[in-house]
Amino acid sequence: MAVHIDRYERYWMWASTGILVLFLAAIVLTAAVGSAHPPSHVETIDPEQVGVHGEFASPGVSTADGRVIVSLRAEMYVFRPEVIRVPAGTPVTFRITSPDVLHGFQIVGTNVNLTVAPGYVSEATATFPRPGEYLIVCNEYCGLAHHLMQGKLIIEAPR
Ligand code: CUA
């Protein structure tokens, strides 16, 4: 015996299915045609070259035209460098990439929270008004020692 579905209910079922298909198609289209990726993923990079040359081969803090730039590598299961020292009251740009798997870069208690995908450089800029210490954690499950993957950000009083 066939289940009776009211005509209007059937219309709504088709309409809601249609909307889902439309939204899914929009995601696939923008990803494929517009090569859309998360807004913090500013550049692409060859993950096999990350540790070989360039800024991520010798990660650390540098300054360029008054800006502080922190280049970082997130890899199983460590951030390089593990301890970062930057001055208070100066905009700091974090640039981070991964040579292996997906990681996260979250400075706890701030709104710096990046997804670190191999193949992309993720970037965020923040200013820390007061000296202090922040915990950095990886918030994407990246393997057995994921929970041990953390770093420290030390904000120093400007000299
Ligand atoms: Cu790296 Cu979790």
Any atom of ligand 1 within 6 Å of the Cβ of 142: yes
Q: Is the pTM of this model over 0.85?
A: no
Nearest to 135 by CA among 113, 119, 153, 123: 153
User: Which atom of ligand 1 has the smallest separation from the CA of 143?
Assistant: 2
146 CA distance to ligand 1 middle (Å): 4
Q: Is the pLDDT of residue 81 over 90?
A: yes
User: Which atom of ligand 1 has the smallest separation from the CA of 146?
Assistant: 2
Give CA separation, 16 vs 5, 19, 20, 104, in Å.
Answer: 15, 5, 6, 35
Q: Please compute the mean of the pLDDT values over residues 44-53 and round it to a whole number.
A: 84
Q: Is the pLDDT of residue 34 over 80?
A: no
Any atom of ligand 1 within 6 Å of the Cβ of 140: yes
On whether the CB atoms of residues 135 and 53 are closer than 8 A, the answer is no
What is the b/e burial string over 36-69, where b = at least 16 CB atoms within 10 angstroms of the residue's CB? eeeebbeeebebeebbeeebbeebeeeeeeeebb
Mean pLDDT score across all residues of the chain: 91
Any atom of ligand 1 within 6 Å of the Cβ of 146: yes
> How many residues are there in the chain?
159
Burial class of residue 148, CB neighbours in 10 A (0-12, 13-18, 19+): exposed
Any atom of ligand 1 within 6 Å of the Cβ of 103: yes
Please report the pLDDT score of residue 38 as a whole number: 67
Cis peptide before 8 (omega within 30 of 0): no
Minimal-distance CA residue to ligand 1 atom 1: 103
76 CA distance to ligand 1 middle (Å): 7
Amino acid at 109: G
Q: Is the pLDDT of residue 90 over 80?
A: yes
